[in-house]
Structure 1
Amino acid sequence: MSITTTNEHPVKLPDTAHAMWERGELHDFLHLPHDNFSVEIIGGKIVVSPAPRAGHGRVIRGIYNAFRDARVADPQFPWDCAPMLDLNLTEIGEGYCPDLMVMQAEILGVLEDEDERYARTDHVEMVVEVTSPSNASNDRRPAERGAPSKWTGYARAEIPYYLLVDRDPKGPLITLYSVPDPAAGAYLHSDTWEFGDTVTLEHFGLEIDTTGWAPWKD
């Protein structure tokens, strides 16, 4: 992963980083292959991340399939998952690439019909992030008070739920954060599970089997 900022690695942009991200111009400006790298604006920095590992995809597929199976079993199940869709946090001038977003199926259908480039925060009920060796610190609660991360950004934007699957072999853990405090940029409540446990998402009326989930390999 490389991080580009005006302080660390000067890059002269023709517009603000968020505006260029919003218009889908940053990939081309930075000369990045679209299929191999994601570009996000986190804490005012341009963050470029490589494609994730295969074990990362297993976790995402497990969560996605749980929501898909619920909709197959009950066509009235109200929730659906959006993979491969960016999230524009216009309230704080940032742009993220969540691993998954959970939203009302009707809302996702409209976004797909309109072929939107990204979702907005008021569309989303829960974001899902799975850590990778190159960018885990961007997904977690910051070690230093006041430091920015996606954890603080999601809270500031008042995303109701944040499901973080941390695959770090030093302490693999699944955490559901809730009760965002936008002023503090923090979530006030959390529930945790070990890998192999059944994750219960009471708000969504869903359980997720995490058998087979594993930490990343060094």
Structure 2
Amino acid sequence: MDKRQRRILKIKNKDKKRNTSSESNDVLKMIKTKRVVLDSFMDYFTHYAFTLIFAIFPLMIIVFSLKGFTFKWDSFLLFIISLSLFGVAFFMQYHRLRFKQVSTTISLEDLHKIIKETAVELDWQTSLVGKGAFASTRPSFWSGSWGEEIKIFIDKKNNQVLVNSICRLDMRSSVFAAGRNRRNEQRLIRKIKEYEKDKSQTTKK
């Protein structure tokens, strides 16, 4: 290996460490804040873009009012309704970035097993990484969803599992997923609680 090749390899290794460190910081931040971290402007845009539809009419009213146009009372009523819908839609999307939490003392190995079982049941494409898992779905066109991405973190320090499912950020912006995000979260939480209950009953016997 010549000097130029060694330099290229050194740069690649440095970039890899930087990316790994950044990802690790994001994970720690998500565990601490209990919220999904959106990595880029496009992630923010995709997650919130659909809500902007409700802001178009209020913005038009404001712009034309500044230019001297006058509007009847029914236009201002539509302004209030549109602005309210925007607020509701924005709050829904903001709230969906929160992790659902479930307390558990299940071992890391058993939690990995539960995650894998849930992935098979719900057709997740899953990647287990230490004390966490990242999964995604590619449902059919008729499912009512463009796909979901699921993040799962095992916080052994606080004996908790954090799970969040939102519409995929690499697909089209969407507010609704036909209940699939809720199903993803609740199915995993339910299986953890059932396992915890069975384990408790076995211990008592």
Structure with bigger strand share is 1
Larger relative helix fraction: 2
TM-score (norm 2): 0.26
Higher RCO structure (Cα 8 Å, ≥6 apart): 2
- Taking structure 1 as the reference length, what is the TM-score of the superposition? 0.25
Q: Which has the larger radius of gyration?
A: 2
